[in-house]
Structure 1
């Protein structure tokens, strides 16, 4: 999936800028640090998704009663 499809109306979006950044000038250590930061962000986003899904399920359960 193209990022332009995900973020079509967000010029200057940090994610779009991130994936377009040239990696050639970065050292191996900098690339490893970048991967670690991105993995941390992935974990944070997954936790947010889990919290949202659990919150919605709890709300649906509450209103079913």
Structure 2
């Protein structure tokens, strides 16, 4: 079994899907809601990234002892 066989297949590029969506039919309120949702996802992603960086730093510190 290949190492990659243990992971589910990767879905399509979600950012590319977002870029392809037609914004013309959306109202201002819908566009504002979309922006709020995207900003929330940016914050969630940054938080996860920071947590990953802290975890890596902790692991590196542990193994450098």
How well do the aligned residues superpose, as a CA RMSD in angstroms? Answer: 1.5
Q: What's the TM-score once normalised by structure 1's chain length? A: 0.79
Deviations 1:16-37 (Å, cap 9, x if unpaired)?
1111111000000000000000
Q: Which residue of 2 aligns with 1:19?
A: 19
Which blocks of at least 5 consecutive residues in structure 2 are unaligned?
1-9
**Farther off after superposition, 36-45 or 15-24:** 15-24
Mind listing any 5+ residue stretches in structure 1 that lack a counterpart? 1-9
What does residue 34 of structure 1 align with?
Answer: 34
The more displaced of 12-21 and 47-56 is 12-21
Q: TM-score, normalised on structure 2?
A: 0.79
Query: Which of these two proteins has the greater Rg computed from alpha carbons?
Result: 2
1:9-65, Cα deviation, whole Å (9 max, x unpaired): x77432211111110000000000000000000000000100110000000000011
Larger relative CO (CA 8 A, sep 6+): 1 or 2? 1
Runs of 4+ in 1 over 4 A off after TM superposition: none
Tell me how far apart the structure 1 counterparts of residues 29 and 60 of structure 2 sit (CA, whole Å).
47
